Protein backbone atom coordinates (compact mmCIF):
# COMPACT_ATOMS: atom_id res chain seq x y z
CA UNK A 1 0.00 0.00 0.00
CA UNK A 2 2.73 2.42 1.05
CA UNK A 3 4.68 1.54 -2.05
CA UNK A 4 1.67 2.13 -4.23
CA UNK A 5 1.27 5.63 -2.78
CA UNK A 6 4.91 6.36 -3.31
CA UNK A 7 4.67 5.18 -6.92
CA UNK A 8 1.61 7.35 -7.47
CA UNK A 9 3.40 10.37 -6.03
CA UNK A 10 6.42 9.74 -8.23
CA UNK A 11 4.17 9.37 -11.25
CA UNK A 12 2.40 12.66 -10.52
CA UNK A 13 5.71 14.41 -9.95
CA UNK A 14 7.09 13.00 -13.20
CA UNK A 15 4.10 14.29 -15.13
CA UNK A 16 4.49 17.73 -13.55
CA UNK A 17 8.21 17.90 -14.24
CA UNK A 18 8.10 16.56 -17.79
CA UNK A 19 5.04 18.64 -18.55
CA UNK A 20 6.76 21.68 -17.14
CA UNK A 21 9.83 21.13 -19.28
CA UNK A 22 7.69 20.52 -22.32
CA UNK A 23 5.61 23.61 -21.66
CA UNK A 24 8.60 25.85 -21.08
CA UNK A 25 10.47 24.65 -24.18
CA UNK A 26 7.32 25.15 -26.17
CA UNK A 27 7.12 28.67 -24.79
CA UNK A 28 10.78 29.28 -25.73
CA UNK A 29 10.19 27.94 -29.20
CA UNK A 30 7.23 30.23 -29.55
CA UNK A 31 9.31 33.16 -28.39
CA UNK A 32 12.02 32.29 -30.92
CA UNK A 33 9.51 31.96 -33.72
CA UNK A 34 8.08 35.31 -32.65
CA UNK A 35 11.50 36.87 -32.88
CA UNK A 36 12.18 35.64 -36.41
CA UNK A 37 8.72 36.94 -37.37
CA UNK A 38 10.06 40.45 -36.94
CA UNK A 39 12.24 41.26 -39.94
CA UNK A 40 15.31 43.33 -39.11
CA UNK A 41 16.43 45.78 -41.77
CA UNK A 42 19.26 48.31 -41.51
CA UNK A 43 19.06 51.49 -43.59
CA UNK A 44 21.91 53.93 -44.18
CA UNK A 45 20.91 57.22 -45.84
CA UNK A 46 23.91 59.15 -47.19
CA UNK A 47 22.67 62.67 -46.48
CA UNK A 48 19.50 64.66 -45.89
CA UNK A 49 17.81 66.14 -48.95
CA UNK A 50 14.28 66.06 -50.36
CA UNK A 51 14.97 63.28 -52.86
CA UNK A 52 16.63 60.86 -50.44
CA UNK A 53 13.99 61.58 -47.77
CA UNK A 54 11.33 60.69 -50.31
CA UNK A 55 13.19 57.52 -51.27
CA UNK A 56 13.23 56.46 -47.61
CA UNK A 57 9.47 57.07 -47.35
CA UNK A 58 9.02 54.93 -50.46
CA UNK A 59 11.19 52.14 -49.02
CA UNK A 60 8.96 51.87 -45.95
CA UNK A 61 5.82 51.80 -48.11
CA UNK A 62 7.32 49.25 -50.51
CA UNK A 63 8.18 46.97 -47.58
CA UNK A 64 4.68 47.43 -46.16
CA UNK A 65 3.12 46.50 -49.51
CA UNK A 66 4.98 43.19 -49.28
CA UNK A 67 3.72 42.51 -45.76
CA UNK A 68 6.56 44.03 -43.73
CA UNK A 69 4.62 46.63 -41.77
CA UNK A 70 3.92 47.52 -38.13
CA UNK A 71 5.31 44.95 -35.69
CA UNK A 72 6.43 42.68 -38.55
CA UNK A 73 9.46 44.88 -39.15
CA UNK A 74 12.14 46.66 -37.23
CA UNK A 75 14.03 49.31 -39.20
CA UNK A 76 17.41 50.33 -37.87
CA UNK A 77 17.82 53.74 -39.55
CA UNK A 78 20.99 55.83 -39.71
CA UNK A 79 21.95 58.97 -41.63
CA UNK A 80 25.64 59.75 -42.20
CA UNK A 81 24.89 63.41 -43.08
CA UNK A 82 27.44 63.32 -45.88
CA UNK A 83 30.32 62.42 -43.55
CA UNK A 84 32.72 59.77 -44.96
CA UNK A 85 33.91 58.79 -41.47
CA UNK A 86 30.34 58.23 -40.31
CA UNK A 87 29.60 56.11 -43.39
CA UNK A 88 32.33 53.67 -42.33
CA UNK A 89 31.36 53.43 -38.65
CA UNK A 90 27.61 53.33 -39.28
CA UNK A 91 28.02 50.65 -41.95
CA UNK A 92 29.94 48.47 -39.50
CA UNK A 93 27.29 49.05 -36.82
CA UNK A 94 24.41 48.18 -39.14
CA UNK A 95 26.16 44.96 -40.14
CA UNK A 96 26.94 44.06 -36.51
CA UNK A 97 23.43 44.86 -35.20
CA UNK A 98 21.92 41.59 -36.39
CA UNK A 99 20.06 43.01 -39.38
CA UNK A 100 19.05 40.47 -42.03
CA UNK A 101 19.38 42.90 -44.92
CA UNK A 102 21.00 46.35 -45.12
CA UNK A 103 19.97 49.12 -47.53
CA UNK A 104 22.16 52.01 -48.69
CA UNK A 105 20.39 55.11 -49.99
CA UNK A 106 22.67 56.86 -52.56
CA UNK A 107 26.00 55.67 -53.93
CA UNK A 108 28.39 56.57 -51.06
CA UNK A 109 26.12 54.80 -48.52
CA UNK A 110 25.80 51.66 -50.65
CA UNK A 111 29.59 51.66 -51.16
CA UNK A 112 30.13 51.93 -47.39
CA UNK A 113 27.84 48.98 -46.65
CA UNK A 114 29.32 46.89 -49.45
CA UNK A 115 32.80 47.33 -48.03
CA UNK A 116 31.58 46.50 -44.50
CA UNK A 117 30.24 43.03 -45.40
CA UNK A 118 30.77 40.41 -48.06
CA UNK A 119 27.96 38.06 -46.99
CA UNK A 120 25.02 40.04 -45.58
CA UNK A 121 22.65 41.08 -48.43
CA UNK A 122 23.10 44.77 -49.35
CA UNK A 123 20.35 46.60 -51.26
CA UNK A 124 21.34 49.61 -53.37
CA UNK A 125 18.75 52.38 -53.08
CA UNK A 126 18.51 54.63 -56.17
CA UNK A 127 22.03 54.28 -57.54
CA UNK A 128 22.94 56.11 -60.75
CA UNK A 129 25.48 53.62 -62.07
CA UNK A 130 26.01 50.44 -59.99
CA UNK A 131 28.62 48.96 -62.35
CA UNK A 132 30.62 52.19 -62.68
CA UNK A 133 30.53 52.64 -58.88
CA UNK A 134 31.93 49.07 -58.59
CA UNK A 135 28.94 47.88 -56.56
CA UNK A 136 28.01 44.98 -58.88
CA UNK A 137 29.79 43.08 -61.64
CA UNK A 138 26.81 43.28 -63.96
CA UNK A 139 23.20 44.46 -63.75
CA UNK A 140 21.85 41.09 -64.90
CA UNK A 141 24.04 38.94 -62.65
CA UNK A 142 25.29 40.97 -59.68
CA UNK A 143 27.46 38.01 -58.63
CA UNK A 144 27.97 38.76 -54.92
CA UNK A 145 25.95 40.04 -51.94
CA UNK A 146 24.83 43.34 -53.53
CA UNK A 147 21.80 44.08 -55.72
CA UNK A 148 19.08 46.75 -55.76
CA UNK A 149 17.62 49.60 -57.77
CA UNK A 150 19.47 51.65 -60.39
CA UNK A 151 18.27 54.99 -61.77
CA UNK A 152 20.42 55.99 -64.75
CA UNK A 153 19.17 59.45 -65.70
CA UNK A 154 17.65 59.88 -69.17
CA UNK A 155 20.43 62.21 -70.31
CA UNK A 156 19.47 62.16 -74.00
CA UNK A 157 15.91 63.22 -73.19
CA UNK A 158 17.19 65.86 -70.77
CA UNK A 159 19.37 67.37 -73.49
CA UNK A 160 16.41 67.37 -75.91
CA UNK A 161 14.45 69.37 -73.36
CA UNK A 162 17.28 71.88 -72.93
CA UNK A 163 17.25 72.36 -76.71
CA UNK A 164 13.49 72.92 -76.79
CA UNK A 165 13.27 75.31 -73.84
CA UNK A 166 16.47 77.28 -74.46
CA UNK A 167 17.04 77.06 -78.24
CA UNK A 168 19.61 79.87 -78.22
CA UNK A 169 21.85 78.31 -75.58
CA UNK A 170 25.37 77.48 -76.77
CA UNK A 171 27.32 77.01 -73.56
CA UNK A 172 26.10 74.69 -70.81
CA UNK A 173 27.63 74.77 -67.35
CA UNK A 174 27.67 71.60 -65.26
CA UNK A 175 27.56 71.91 -61.48
CA UNK A 176 28.45 68.86 -59.37
CA UNK A 177 30.46 67.63 -56.41
CA UNK A 178 33.96 66.30 -57.08
CA UNK A 179 33.55 63.55 -54.43
CA UNK A 180 30.66 61.54 -55.82
CA UNK A 181 31.23 58.66 -58.25
CA UNK A 182 27.57 58.87 -59.27
CA UNK A 183 28.11 62.43 -60.57
CA UNK A 184 31.46 61.95 -62.27
CA UNK A 185 30.10 59.20 -64.49
CA UNK A 186 27.01 61.12 -65.56
CA UNK A 187 28.94 64.32 -66.16
CA UNK A 188 31.20 62.40 -68.56
CA UNK A 189 28.18 61.00 -70.42
CA UNK A 190 26.41 64.34 -70.55
CA UNK A 191 29.52 66.17 -71.77
CA UNK A 192 30.13 63.65 -74.54
CA UNK A 193 26.55 63.83 -75.76
CA UNK A 194 26.23 67.63 -75.54
CA UNK A 195 29.54 68.21 -77.33
CA UNK A 196 28.42 65.86 -80.07
CA UNK A 197 25.38 68.08 -80.49
CA UNK A 198 27.57 71.17 -80.84
CA UNK A 199 27.39 72.62 -77.31
CA UNK A 200 30.35 73.92 -75.36
CA UNK A 201 30.30 72.29 -71.93
CA UNK A 202 32.01 73.93 -68.96
CA UNK A 203 32.42 71.68 -65.91
CA UNK A 204 32.32 73.20 -62.41
CA UNK A 205 33.14 70.54 -59.82
CA UNK A 206 32.85 71.78 -56.22
CA UNK A 207 34.86 70.16 -53.41
CA UNK A 208 32.18 70.98 -50.78
CA UNK A 209 28.85 72.77 -50.47
CA UNK A 210 30.70 75.79 -48.99
CA UNK A 211 31.99 76.51 -52.52
CA UNK A 212 28.59 76.50 -54.23
CA UNK A 213 27.74 80.19 -53.95
CA UNK A 214 31.14 81.41 -55.17
CA UNK A 215 31.19 78.84 -57.98
CA UNK A 216 27.70 79.91 -59.08
CA UNK A 217 28.85 83.56 -59.15
CA UNK A 218 31.61 82.72 -61.64
CA UNK A 219 29.61 80.18 -63.61
CA UNK A 220 26.44 82.21 -64.21
CA UNK A 221 28.46 84.88 -66.03
CA UNK A 222 29.88 82.32 -68.48
CA UNK A 223 27.04 79.97 -69.40
CA UNK A 224 23.60 80.09 -71.07
CA UNK A 225 22.13 77.14 -69.14
CA UNK A 226 23.10 74.98 -66.17
CA UNK A 227 22.73 71.21 -65.95
CA UNK A 228 22.95 69.39 -62.61
CA UNK A 229 23.29 65.57 -62.35
CA UNK A 230 21.79 63.49 -59.51
CA UNK A 231 24.38 64.83 -57.12
CA UNK A 232 23.78 64.55 -53.39
CA UNK A 233 25.88 67.52 -52.27
CA UNK A 234 24.22 69.84 -54.81
CA UNK A 235 20.75 68.47 -54.01
CA UNK A 236 21.21 69.11 -50.30
CA UNK A 237 22.29 72.71 -50.99
CA UNK A 238 19.90 73.34 -53.86
CA UNK A 239 18.33 76.35 -52.15
CA UNK A 240 21.77 78.01 -52.24
CA UNK A 241 22.08 77.19 -55.94
CA UNK A 242 18.72 78.83 -56.66
CA UNK A 243 19.45 81.83 -54.43
CA UNK A 244 22.82 82.46 -56.11
CA UNK A 245 21.06 82.56 -59.48
CA UNK A 246 18.54 85.22 -58.47
CA UNK A 247 20.19 88.07 -60.38
CA UNK A 248 21.78 86.13 -63.25
CA UNK A 249 18.59 84.18 -64.05
CA UNK A 250 20.25 81.32 -65.90
CA UNK A 251 17.87 78.40 -66.61
CA UNK A 252 18.75 75.43 -64.39
CA UNK A 253 18.06 71.87 -65.57
CA UNK A 254 18.53 69.46 -62.63
CA UNK A 255 18.05 65.68 -62.63
CA UNK A 256 15.29 65.14 -60.06
CA UNK A 257 11.67 66.22 -59.62
CA UNK A 258 12.50 67.45 -56.12
CA UNK A 259 15.08 69.92 -57.47
CA UNK A 260 12.66 71.22 -60.12
CA UNK A 261 10.10 71.86 -57.37
CA UNK A 262 12.76 73.70 -55.39
CA UNK A 263 13.44 76.19 -58.19
CA UNK A 264 14.94 74.37 -61.18
CA UNK A 265 13.34 75.06 -64.58
CA UNK A 266 12.65 71.60 -65.96
CA UNK A 267 13.88 68.04 -66.35
CA UNK A 268 13.03 64.55 -67.48
CA UNK A 269 12.78 62.41 -64.36
CA UNK A 270 11.65 59.24 -62.65
CA UNK A 271 9.73 59.63 -59.37
CA UNK A 272 11.98 59.60 -56.31
CA UNK A 273 9.21 58.11 -54.20
CA UNK A 274 8.70 55.40 -56.83
CA UNK A 275 12.41 54.57 -56.68
CA UNK A 276 11.99 54.11 -52.95
CA UNK A 277 8.99 51.80 -53.36
CA UNK A 278 10.98 49.64 -55.81
CA UNK A 279 13.87 49.55 -53.33
CA UNK A 280 11.50 48.49 -50.54
CA UNK A 281 10.09 45.69 -52.67
CA UNK A 282 13.56 44.47 -53.56
CA UNK A 283 14.44 44.46 -49.84
CA UNK A 284 11.31 42.36 -49.14
CA UNK A 285 12.34 39.90 -51.84
CA UNK A 286 15.73 39.36 -50.18
CA UNK A 287 14.12 39.07 -46.73
CA UNK A 288 12.02 36.26 -48.19
CA UNK A 289 15.19 34.46 -49.22
CA UNK A 290 16.16 35.57 -52.74
CA UNK A 291 19.94 35.53 -53.29
CA UNK A 292 21.45 38.92 -54.24
CA UNK A 293 24.01 37.25 -56.52
CA UNK A 294 21.23 35.95 -58.76
CA UNK A 295 18.74 38.81 -58.37
CA UNK A 296 19.10 41.24 -61.32
CA UNK A 297 19.34 44.95 -60.54
CA UNK A 298 15.98 46.68 -61.07
CA UNK A 299 16.71 49.46 -63.58
CA UNK A 300 14.20 52.35 -63.41
CA UNK A 301 14.83 54.69 -66.34
CA UNK A 302 11.46 55.57 -67.89
CA UNK A 303 11.34 59.30 -67.25
CA UNK A 304 8.66 61.93 -67.83
CA UNK A 305 9.19 65.68 -68.25
CA UNK A 306 8.51 67.98 -65.32
CA UNK A 307 8.31 71.76 -65.77
CA UNK A 308 8.27 74.56 -63.22
CA UNK A 309 6.05 77.20 -64.83
CA UNK A 310 6.61 79.71 -62.05
CA UNK A 311 10.36 79.61 -62.72
CA UNK A 312 9.73 79.76 -66.49
CA UNK A 313 7.71 82.97 -66.00
CA UNK A 314 10.46 84.48 -63.83
CA UNK A 315 13.03 83.71 -66.54
CA UNK A 316 10.78 84.99 -69.34
CA UNK A 317 10.68 81.59 -71.03
CA UNK A 318 7.50 80.49 -72.82
CA UNK A 319 6.94 76.76 -72.71
CA UNK A 320 6.15 75.41 -76.20
CA UNK A 321 2.73 73.79 -76.26
CA UNK A 322 4.00 70.37 -77.33
CA UNK A 323 6.44 70.36 -74.39
CA UNK A 324 3.70 71.28 -71.93
CA UNK A 325 1.41 68.60 -73.32
CA UNK A 326 4.09 65.93 -72.94
CA UNK A 327 4.86 66.89 -69.33
CA UNK A 328 4.14 64.36 -66.60
CA UNK A 329 4.00 67.13 -64.03
CA UNK A 330 3.69 70.92 -64.09
CA UNK A 331 4.69 72.97 -61.08
CA UNK A 332 2.56 76.16 -60.99
Interacting residue ranges for ligand TRP, rule: CB under 6 A:
51, 106-107, 126-128, 151, 182, 230-232, 235, 256, 272
Judge whether 211 and 162 are in contact, CB under 8 Å: no
Q: With respect to ligand TRP, which residue has the nearer C-beta, 128 or 278? A: 128
Beta bridge partners of 78: 44
Q: Minimal distance in Å, beta carbon 331 to ligand TRP?
A: 16
Query: Any idea what DSSP says for residue 318?
Result: P
**Residue 41 in contact with residue 100, Cβ under 8 Å?**
yes
Residue (39 or 278) nearer to ligand TRP, CB: 278
Please tell me the distance from the alpha carbon of residue 128 to that of residue 145, in angstroms, as a whole number: 19
Q: How far is the CB of 170 from ligand TRP (least distance, A)?
A: 27
**Residue with CB nearest ligand TRP?**
51
User: Using CA atoms, how far apart are residues 281 and 277, in angstroms rounded to an integer?
Assistant: 6
Output 110 or 159, the one with its CB closest to ligand TRP: 110
Strand-pair category, 304-308 with 266-269 = antiparallel
**Closest separation in Å from C-beta 183 to ligand TRP:** 8
For the bound state, the minimum distance from the C-beta of residue 47 to ligand TRP, rounded and expressed in Å, comes to 9
Which of 256/319 has CB closer to ligand TRP?
Answer: 256
User: How far lies 10's CA from each of 15, 22, 23, 86, in Å?
Assistant: 9, 18, 19, 63
Please enumerate in sequence order all residues whose Cβ is within 8 A of that of 2, keeping only pairs 6 or more positions apart, or say none. none
**Element housing 179 (H / E):** none
DSSP-derived 3-state class of residue 30 = helix
200 by DSSP, 3-state: which? strand
Our CB check for ligand TRP shows the closer of 39 and 102 to be: 102
Please state the closest distance from residue 297 (CB atom) to ligand TRP, in A.
Answer: 12
Distance of closest approach, residue 96 Cβ to ligand TRP, in angstroms: 24
Residue 231 beta carbon to ligand TRP: minimum distance, rounded to whole angstroms: 6
Query: What's the Cα-to-Cα distance from 198 to each of 169, 171, 287, rounded to whole Å?
Result: 11, 9, 49
Q: Are the C-beta atoms of 327 and 268 separated by less than 8 Å?
A: no
The smaller minimum CB distance to ligand TRP, of residues 99 and 232, is found at 232
**Closer Cβ to ligand TRP, 39 or 111, answer by number:** 111
Q: Are 229 and 186 in contact (CB under 8 A)?
A: yes
Amino acid sequence: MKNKNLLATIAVLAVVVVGGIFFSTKKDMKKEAGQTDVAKVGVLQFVTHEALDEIYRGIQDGLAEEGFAGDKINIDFMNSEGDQGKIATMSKQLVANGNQVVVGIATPAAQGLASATSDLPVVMGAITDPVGAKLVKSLEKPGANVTGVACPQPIGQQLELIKKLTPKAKTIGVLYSSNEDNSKLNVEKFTELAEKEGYTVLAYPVPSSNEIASTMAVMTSKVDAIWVPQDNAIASAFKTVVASNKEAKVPIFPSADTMVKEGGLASVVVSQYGLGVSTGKMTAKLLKGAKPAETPVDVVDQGAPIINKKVAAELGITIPEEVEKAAGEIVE
